Amino acid sequence: MSQRRVAITGLGLVSPYGGDLADFFARLCAGKSAVRYLLTDDLPRPLSIPFVSCPGFDPDVALGKPLASMMDRFAQLAMAAAFSAWNDSGLPRQAEGDQRDDWGVAWGTALGGTLAYEKGYRELWQKGRERLSPLSVVLGMNNAANAHISIQLGLGGVSMSHTVACASSAIAIGEAFRRVRSGEATVMLTGGSDVPQAYGVARAWEALRVMAPGDAETSAAACKPFSAERRGLVLGEGGAALVLEDWDHAVARGARIHGEMVGYGTTCDHSHLVRPEAAGQIRAIGLTLADANLNPGDVDYVNAHGTATAEGDPVEITALKAVFGDRAAALPVSATKSMHGHLLGAAAAIEAIVTILALREGTIPPTAHLAALDPDCAGVDHVTTARHGQPLRAALSNSFAFGGSNAVLAFRAVDV
Amino acid sequence: MDSIGLIREFLQDRLGVEPENVIPEASLAELGVDSLMMLELMFEFEDRFGVKLSSDLKTPQTVGEMVSLMDGLIASQKH
């Protein structure tokens, strides 16, 4: 069966900066960090961490109270991002007849409705309540986000959630891509969302000793991927969505095409739960290039996974050097997590959007706070200030998850 | 607060229904109360009035039926 081309016709997110997509990308290119110091009122020991939140996001305003009250915050962020991407695509909101029976949703979330569950635990164990709200299950379930999106947009095809830690939305986007490319789906709404500020979740991440420290003065620059001074990752909440569409369908309706999705590869290290292995990443990048029919020399930018952990960053650079060989030293690489944080299930989706905007605008956003490169992370062209006017042809976005799952997405610019 | 007051407050808070539209003959479904919201409304009622609903109660269709159900339970469980 011949494969269809896959157009990216809609992009949307809930920006931690509070503005729209253009504002989000402009701030990244200006090296502006969205990381802030978070001090909660939890007793007896408040959370005191660098964090990325979306303080301008009011779900009652964005979605209306009746809809917002049926969702945990991760689904609210998902719904808002999905509406934004859908509006951007120019596709109508309401279904007409049965034409959307093969239009679907693939959504990534690492955590699901952990705020709803935590609220339940507090009610039961802290307040001594006997029963919980009847909405607890539908608020907490991991597939709540994709279910709401399918309902609100009238999408009658597949509706699925993907939980693969930090690669959740990379896998979701990749699986959505494959469905459109194969002809199984005409349109797929995809992306990811997560809200890691449930007290128990944040404490669990702290216990892993992978989170960067910071206070009111230092938090904005707490995440330093590839730096000799890196101290760990910065968690954040967020939601980001893409509309993937059969190319001919998009052209026929005169849609604006942001870029083309051309490849996806996923592997597992199958060796350790949290220690990454270059071999698995090399296979994932190689599979993606082959899937996309790209040579290493065709790739003009890589948005790195780059979480700023001690172990992860050098392994990713090792993998890139192995795949790109002589080209690696001239391969532009940046880790935008330095500014928007690690959004877990939303991470790959927001980074896919960054990668697509980089291709579309011909601008590579930087890795912020990279004044002192770790020698173990040398060997690629680290982008430390935005590069404008770049004739970018193709780009990759890497996501490497706890559990050893690796997923890489490939995109091409339109008309280059 | 009485039963109708609780229903009006709940529907305004959750569904944005204006209190003047919550009258005895109004259909709960037409006001936007689906099966999940009905469960949540009953949960709120139990919580606020300290009563327990049995699981085999007939689901009320109108605001008036809901008020009767609530008032009946409050009266019977006071004894």
Q: What is the CATH number of the domain that holds A370?
A: 3.40.47.10
- How far are the Cα atoms of A192, A276, B8, B15, B42 from residue B19, in angstroms, in the given order? 38, 58, 5, 11, 18
Same domain for A148 and A270, yes or no, is no
Q: ipTM exceeding 0.95?
A: no
CA distance A196 to A18: 19
A255, two tokens? 């849609």
The secondary element (H helix, E strand) that includes residue A37 is strand A36-39
Same domain for A305 and A245, yes or no, is no
Given a contact cutoff of 8 angstroms between Cβ atoms, the answer to whether B12 and B41 are in contact is no
Q: Which residues pair with A303 in a beta bridge?
A: A334, A397
CA distance A74 to A70: 12
CA atoms within a 13 Å half-sphere pointing along the CA-CB vector of A28:
32
The secondary element (H helix, E strand) that includes residue A183 is none
> Looking at chain B from residue 30 to 69, which residues have their Cβ under 8 Å from any Cβ of chain A?
32, 36, 39-40, 42-43
Which of A252, A273, A301 terminates a domain? The answer is: A252
Contact B14 A66 (CB under 8 A): yes
Q: For the range B34-38, what are the long-range contacts, defined as Cβ-Cβ under 8 Å and sequence gap of 24 or more? A: B36/A70, B36/A134, B36/A135, B36/A138
Q: Which residues pair with A11 in a beta bridge?
A: A242
| Residue A102 forms part of a structural domain | yes
Say whether pLDDT at B9 is over 60. Answer: yes
B32, two tokens? 């936007």
The pLDDT value recorded for residue A11 is 98
Instruction: Give contacts of B32 with chain A, Cβ < 8 Å.
Output: 66
The pLDDT value recorded for residue A95 is 62
Same domain for A84 and A194, yes or no, is yes
Same domain for A285 and A221, yes or no, is no
DSSP A265: E
The pLDDT value recorded for residue B52 is 83
CA distance A139 to A265: 32
Task: Provide mean pLDDT across the span A95-110.
Answer: 87
| Tens digit of each residue's pLDDT (9 = 90 or more) over A360-406 | 999 999 999 999 999 999 999 999 999 999 999 999 999 999 999 99
Report the predicted TM-score, pTM, of the whole model to 2 decimal places: 0.95
Which of A231, A252, A273 terminates a domain? The answer is: A252
Residue span of the structural domain in which A226 resides: 6-252
A51, two tokens? 């964090």
A85, two tokens? 């991407």
A268 is catalytic: no
Same domain for A16 and A147, yes or no, is yes
- Mark out the alpha helices in A183-244 (DSSP H runs): 199-207
Say whether pLDDT at A107 is over 90. Answer: yes
Same domain for A285 and A160, yes or no, is no
Same domain for A52 and A159, yes or no, is yes
| Tens digit of each residue's pLDDT (9 = 90 or more) over A239-257 | 999 999 999 999 999 999 9
Given a contact cutoff of 8 angstroms between Cβ atoms, the answer to whether A259 and A410 are in contact is no
Q: How many CB pairs under 8 A join A and B?
A: 23
Average pLDDT score over chain A: 96
